[in-house]
Structure 1
Amino acid sequence: MELIWILFQLLILASVLAVALASAIVFETFRRKYNHSCHVEAPTVFEDPNSLKPVKCPHILDPAEKYISLIVPAYNEEYRLPGALDETLNYLQERTAKDKPFSYEVVIVDDGSTDGTKRVAFDYVKRYTVDNVRVVLLGRNHGKGEAIRKGVLHSRGELILMLDADGATKVSDLEKLENQILALAMEERKFGDSSASDSTLRISDVPIAAFGSRAHLEEKALATRKWYRNFLMKGFHLVVLLAAGPGIRDTQCGFKMFTRAAARKLFMNVRLKRWCFDVELVYLCKWFCIPVIEISVNWTEIPGSKVNLLSIPNMLWEIALMSLGYRTGMWKIYS
């Protein structure tokens, strides 16, 4: 009888915890119903560290002023950020020298770092001017998804590329994504003149996304990664398949490019703030019928990854929020 009583108590406790968890998921999903009210407020200015003068903050709804924007989310990246920025800015300057119409900006989003990330970021603004490198400070840590969302919403590019602060992907691979987007835009005959200059002027109006992919490196990665990262990857692939459907082999590669029209639709709706926002992007691309091209990129695993076993509960939590929010219609999609 004593064993039965203990089992009964455990069953009651499990039931209470299950109801509490379900209630928490429903509450948090409802709290994010109104997308714009639950995200952090937009910054109104960028600061020019050379002159200390404020610079007007653009918005994704404004016309494009640059050809490409590179969004770099950074959380405690004091030591990895310089290498990635040096490679990125060297490439961008070399391309600018070869192609005069080419223009760029790098938007570094400091996601509440507690180390010297802010200082490192502003050093690059001083070196390359606030017209080419800008910093968004979120004040406290919100998550990679929110950091990228904030950077995209305040970017000026016709094309917008998100890339990680560790420099795991060669920045020159952006040309692979860029060329595929331009080719697809041509095929869809969205603009009349097929000349390169005319394509550049109008590409921002064509909603297209290109996702960098490490799927071709999966076999090698399985052999070299720690067991828990392989377990996390396989389990996550299954959850993604159930939540967002098939079609994209690698949703989590941090190297993705969007035309301005695609970014406007997607990032005005994204609600997930941390690791699973990429999955939400896939879901939204399908909802908006935005073509997604998956392209193999060069990728190297850099020590210092923020993904670990503790990331699993957060990923499952966000997937649960997304599934409930969209499948019940609680989360409205604004076009």
Structure 2
Amino acid sequence: MIKSLSVIFPLYNEQHRLSKLFSEIKKQKYFKKENAEFIFVNDGSNDKSLQMIKDFKSKNKKKINIKIISYNKNQGKGFALKKGIFLAKRNWILTMDIDLSVKFNQLKIWENKKYLNKNIEVYFGSRLLLNSKVNAKEYRKITGNIFNLILSFIFNREKLKIKDTQCGFKLYKNKIAKKIFLKSRENGYINDVEILLLLLRHKIKLSELPVIWSHKDGSKVNILIDSLVMLYHLIKLKLKFNKFLVSV
């Protein structure tokens, strides 16, 4: 079903995680060079991340199609995803977290289990489905629960359709991703919720699929500060999409 793929990695100060990622990319035999591209979006890192990616690209340019987007000021994950999606050229676009909390083979698992349907245009990986396998530390569970409580407080979860908006493993048809992200205005973590609302408003066919997810140390989320920021932006989204949500 997936004949070609663009894989997008948004990143900010990830020098300690990149070597592991590079090793996993080199192991991939799922797609040949002409059918796959890996897009790194350096979101204003001030560590060695950018140089490491450049070195990796230089050493592997004959075997791996690597593209780099970089800018000086940190803008947020949503902004980085938009940059990557607008550059993507393949038929499908996969967004992934650079810590590989969900690994590359998840896509193959979805295909083998025949979860991918030609009529569906977007797939959200979900840690909250019964057949998902999740290995998370207690504080990460607390962070996720806080966010879900906030989300449930502001939105009717049934209208959102999706249980887990924040899992970074998402698959889009290229033309759909470009159409929806062009309309996106949220640059931070709440971008995922805005994208879901835009997909629903435009009646895009989407599905939520189980993942094998493993917690990785090094999260940059501050439970107190980021929860307050998320609350503010979720309220803004509620006001922005309220007319649509009432009509659903």
* TM-score > 0.5 by shorter chain: yes
Alignment of 1:145-224 (within 5 A): 145-177=78-110, 183-185=116-118, 188=119, 208-216=121-129, 224=138
The one-letter code matched in structure 1 to 2:24 is: E
Cα distance change of structure 1 residues 276 and 95 upon mapping to structure 2, 3 Å threshold: same
1:296-332 per-position Cα deviation (integer Å, ceiling 9, x unaligned):
1111100001222221122112212222333479xxx
Counting aligned pairs with the same residue, the percent is: 28
8 A Cα contact 2:147 2:227, kept in partner: no
Structure 1 unmatched ranges of 5 or more: 1-65, 189-206, 330-335
Q: Which residue of 1 aligns with 2:30?
A: 95
- Output the CA distance in 2 between the equivalents of 1:220 and 1:82: 24
Point out the structure with the larger strand share: 2
Are residue 318 (structure 1) and residue 238 (structure 2) matched?
A: no
What is the 5 A alignment of 1:76-95? 76-91=13-28, 94-95=29-30
Which residue identity does 1:321 align to in structure 2?
Answer: K
Q: Which residue of 2 aligns with 1:126?
A: 58
Secondary structure (helix, strand or coil) at the match of 2:124 reads strand
Give distance in 1, aligned partners of 2:152 and 2:229.
16
Task: Tell me what 1:225 maps to.
Answer: 139
Following TM superposition, by how much is the alpha carbon of 1:141 offset from its aligned partner in structure 2, in angstroms?
Answer: 0.3
Change (3 A) 1:325 1:299: same
Report the secondary structure of 2:15's partner residue. coil
Partner of 1:142: 75
Root mean square deviation, CA, Å: 2.9
Give the aligned partner of residue 189 of structure 2. 275
Residue identity opposite 1:253 in structure 2: C
- 8 Å contact 2:115–2:209 — kept in the other structure? no
Aligned length: 239
CA distance in structure 1 between the partners assigned to 2:228 and 2:146 by the alignment: 11
Runs (5+) with no aligned partner, structure 2: none
Mapped partners of 1:170, 1:322: distance in 2? 31
* Aligned pair partner of 2:180 in 242, 266, 269: 266
Q: Which has the larger radius of gyration?
A: 1
Q: CA deviation at 1:264?
A: 1.9
**SS at 1:245 equivalent:** helix
Q: Which residue of 2 aligns with 1:299?
A: 213
For 2:14 and 2:185, how far apart are their aligned partners in 1?
A: 24
Match of 2:198 among 264, 277, 284: 284
CA distance in 2, matches of 1:140, 1:290: 33
Which residue matches 1:236?
150
Aligned twin of 2:49:
117
Checking the alignment, whether the CA contact within 8 Å between 1:178 and 1:257 is kept in structure 2 is: no
